[in-house]
Structure 1
Amino acid sequence: MNTSNTHNTADRPLAGRHAVVTGANGGIGEAICQALAAQGATITLLGLEGPGLEACCARLPGEGHGVAVADITDHETVTGVMREAAAARGPVALLANNAGVARSAPLAKTSPAQWQMMINVNLTGTFNCVHAALPDMLEAGWGRIINIASTAGLLGYAYVAPYCAAKHGVVGLTRALALEVAQRGITVNAVCPGYTDTPLLAGAVDNIVAKTGRSVEEARAELAAGNPQGRLVKPAEVANAVTWLCLPGADAIHGQSIAVAGGEVM
């Protein structure tokens, strides 16, 4: 697929662009896939659960999308599936690093294994995917890398120290790579959602309920209270920010960490 001159359709500005979205099985990941596909991109949905990815893929507008099953913490596997995806759907032009995991515990009760798992998935996994996709972008002289970090990459939160550390690392990786590729036609940015209404958040709510005895409604309200708008972020709102960064006109947005959090970070 030639991605250099097939993307100028006004109503589908990303036509001819191949996007890889990690953690694409529901939540923010599926919302990103839907938003990019609506703009004409061809999507590779990358994640751990094949049936769930296939179901999400079937719901996408357009044709030519596909699924790649891989553990992002395995560099060799990620590289292999990224090459297979590029052979099937064209060089990787857009990368949305959304896959992640969150666990909460006081630092004193966090084991070295738990710490390492959080770093491996949230930070090393992001590196692995960037490392695999970047050669296509450098060769094409064009690309968009969007790392889904978190407001936890900009602030500190109690009881999620490994997650905060990893997401701060993602923001640092974003800034460093942005300087490296600034004159190569590639932009690199981080999108940092606040608490977002996803299955991942549902796990946090369950944890609060189990440990405090509060109701689900009370737990959700507690998480929403940090947002000055007094609500949870919607997955589509995060996806809209990601999509904007991929569209013509956002070329000068580079090396940024954009909070999608209702004013929590100012």
Structure 2
Amino acid sequence: MSTVQGAGVVVTGAGGGIGAALARRFAAGGARVVVNDLDLARIEPLAKEIGGFAVAGDASGIVDAAREALDGTVDVYCANAGLASPGDVFADEEVWAAAWDVNVMAHVRAARALLPHWLERGSGRFVTTASAAGLLTMIGAAPYSVTKHGAVAFAEWLSLTYRHRGIKVHAICPQGVRTDMLTAAGSAGDLVLGPGAVEPDVVADALFEAMDADRFLVLPHPEVAGYYQARAADPDRWMHGMNRLQQKWEASGA
């Protein structure tokens, strides 16, 4: 917890769920926290609770306002705002575009705004809330799975490009978390994610453990590491297994 004492932290998508849990965890460690959501009413009570600052607006464009609230310095940026986008390849263009914009491009825009200052001073921490779907995939949610892969890939790129210049990057990749987003995942989420779903506080704890260990992947569900290794070791076997799960989901009448 001492690593965040006095740090300026931004958490997007903090109106509930993982974002609110992250904000509380950072504040408990002595950080100065800006919470963000599109709807000011969703974050004002949290900001008051933790002694932080509420900055409403699109997550991809709040860095300047957050920096001003934090007296000029953002030390940690949590790109947590996300969009649950169920559907298959035939999902509307607007669904695909919205998922790409929120789940990937918002992270790119934030990094563009943060990196010049971070690189100049030689430190900064970028936290991406992705998903196990970004390491594996998720049945019934093509736009979500594809864009969460993109979020992980961008976080990887940031880390391998800038880690020697003091930039630390973490990608949070949970399976089911008891949030509104899990509810939005529908029957596929119930089948794949529901049984092992954890509370948002578990995700926040896992991030702090990864920060202490200087570890890129944050896995609140440790079993995801085994799935990821199995996928890499034998992709065809893994895809056959996932296809069986797809068939089970279809047979359920989803």
- Mark yes or no: TM-score above 0.5: yes
Residue of structure 1 in register with 2:42 after alignment: 52
Tell me which of 98, 101, 112 is aligned to 2:80.
98
How far apart are 1:12 and its partner, in Å? 4.3
Aligned mate of 2:99, from 118, 123, 129:
118
Provide the residue aligned with 1:198 in structure 2: 179
Please tell me whether residue 159 in structure 1 is matched to residue 146 in structure 2.
no
The reply on whether 1:259 has 2:238 as its aligned counterpart is: no
Question: C-alpha separation between the residues in 2 aligned to 1:163 and 1:106?
Answer: 10
Structure 1 residue ranges without an equivalent (≥5): 1-10, 210-218
User: What residue identity is the alignment partner of 2:135?
Assistant: L
Q: How does 1:1-266 map to 2 (within 5 A)?
A: 12-60=2-50, 63=51, 65-73=52-60, 78=61, 81-90=62-71, 91-108=73-90, 110-204=91-185, 207-208=186-187, 220=190, 222-224=191-193, 230-246=195-211, 249-251=212-214, 253=215, 256-266=216-226
Q: What CA distance in whole angstroms lies between the structure 2 residues aligned with 1:159 and 1:200?
A: 14
Q: Secondary structure at the match of 1:190?
A: strand
Deviations 1:10-41 (A, max 9, x none): x6442221001010111000000000111111
Q: Secondary structure at the match of 1:182?
A: helix
Specify the code of the residue in structure 1 equivalent to 2:178: D
User: In structure 2, what is the Cα distance between the partners aligned to 1:243 and 1:95?
Assistant: 14
Partner residue in 1 for 2:236: none
- Structure 1 runs of 4+ with >6 Å offset: none
| CA apart distance, 1:111 | 1.4
Aligned residues: 225
Whichever residue aligns with residue 157 of structure 2, its letter is A
1:32/1:243 contact within 8 Å kept: no
Which structure is richer in relative contact order (CA contacts within 8 A, separation 6 or more)? 1
2:250 equivalent in structure 1: none
CA deviation string 1:226-254 (max 9, x = no partner): xxxx42121011111223344xx434x3x
Q: Report percent identity of matched pairs.
A: 30
Give the C-alpha shift of residue 202 in structure 1.
Answer: 2.1
Between Structure 1 and Structure 2, the one with more helix by share is 2
